[in-house]
Amino acid sequence: MTDLSTIKIQSVRDDFPILSRSIYGKPLVYFDNAATTQKPVSVIEAISNYYRNDNANVHRGVHYLSQHATGAFEDVRKQLATFVNAGSPSEIIFTRGATEAINLVASSFCETFLKPGDEIIVSALDHHSNIVPWQVACARKSAQLKVSPVTPEGELNLEEFAALLSERTRIVAISHISNTLGTINPIADIVKMSHSQGVPVFVDGAQGLSHGPVDVQQLDCDFYAFSAHKMYGPMGIGGLYGKSSWLNKMQPYQLGGEMIDKVTFEKTTYNEIPYKYEAGTPNVADVMGLGAAISYLQEIGWDFIKAQETDLLNYATASLQGIEGVKIIGTSANKAAIISFLIEGIHFFDAGTILDHMGIAVRTGNHCTQPLMDFLGINGTLRASMAFYNTRQEVDRLVAGIHQVKTLFA
């Protein structure tokens, strides 16, 4: 790394207060970014500022605070639409996160379009959140869930995926990036193959928006879900991009205030998109935090983020491969900065607990991908997921920690 890069990394780390704290008397090494990323000061301050100065319900008042909060709220919708290159801000729906966005489409789309005998395709790489809602929808509608298999390296086999597409396929639901293996799926190819059969594509982008730019129009996906807390924003907020052609046809997922046009005791008509899908009082403060997170990512720049994460992935991969008895799980040629691994003869929970007492936070378990673990023939892994604020020195701490774990179990 150049001196300039080193200077920028330190400057970036200074933006994240939690990175300076200690765990069990050791400086924190945070390698659980796939679970949630840490938050820069600008995000924390945006949330605080809303409650200190602008707190009011949106879309419902003529007084100054309500009008001001509404304007700021809708400005973030526009900002997000630009960030993912949506065709219109009306194609952006605020949700509690990617999980709610998946449930929204699984409920609304399937209620409208899924019939007995139809099929939905997911993949063996997917998170439980992108399996269970579609599984339940299939059970409710007497449809069938089809699973696109993966190779031992953790990549989708596109020939086998293509073979699953049929006249019965109603939607493909696929993750952009595997939260367990780091595999980056070829979404544009999957969309092209699916659209050639007239099949829409839903993308679980929970891991996508934190690692690189996403252009939904270039991908041509029909839906794209995300969570703010995976992209340096607050928890409890996220969203869904959906093509207006689909959103206008689907029925709303939740019912209540704000999403209505007119209510009588005889009949209710629904609001226009996106409000048709945003029932109740929204999480306005965390929308402000999401806006600040987007601004922060744009300020840091994707070039720096991708270069830093690629360097960390390559360095960590080589370092872990150099440890006898360590096996990396998932060796796709196209990966994000996520590494799952096992230490021979040592349970991942035991190893993770010991590393934690060294101040090193890694994830242990099945990472909400039990079907993938079953396919791989294992119960779980240790997972080190890195962000642009991590450093090679922290990777060295992880390597040293693994050596200590091995010594303890020798």
CA-to-CA separations, 379 to 111, 278, 317, 340, 364, in angstroms, rounded = 35, 39, 22, 12, 10
Angle at 101 between CA 66 and CA 331, to 5 degrees: 135
Q: How many CB atoms lie within 10 A of CB 3?
A: 7
Strands (E), 252-349: 260-263, 268-270, 326-329, 338-343
Burial of 231 (0-12, 13-18, 19+ CB in 10 A): buried
Tell me the H-state helices in 15-63. Answer: 41-49
What is the distance between the alpha carbons of residues 163 and 266, in angstroms, rounded to a whole number? Answer: 48
SS3 240: strand
- Structure tokens that stand for 124 in this block: 């063996």
Is there a catalytic annotation at residue 368?
yes
For 157, which DSSP code?
-
What is the distance between the alpha carbons of residues 190 and 125, in angstroms, rounded to a whole number? Answer: 14
Tell me the H-state helices in 114-227. Answer: 132-141, 158-164, 187-195, 216-219
Of residues 110, 138, 221, 368, which has the active-site annotation?
368
What is the distance between the alpha carbons of residues 233 and 227, in angstroms, rounded to a whole number? Answer: 8
Q: 149 φ, ψ to 5°? A: -75, 170
Q: Are 181 and 338 in contact (CB under 8 A)?
A: yes
What are the DSSP calls for 376-403, one per residue?
HT-S-EEEEE--TT--HHHHHHHHHHHH
Q: Are 399 and 320 in contact (CB under 8 A)?
A: yes
What is the distance between the alpha carbons of residues 341 and 328, in angstroms, rounded to a whole number? Answer: 4
- Structure tokens that stand for 152 in this block: 């031992």
Q: Are 80 and 226 in contact (CB under 8 A)?
A: no
Positions marked catalytic:
368
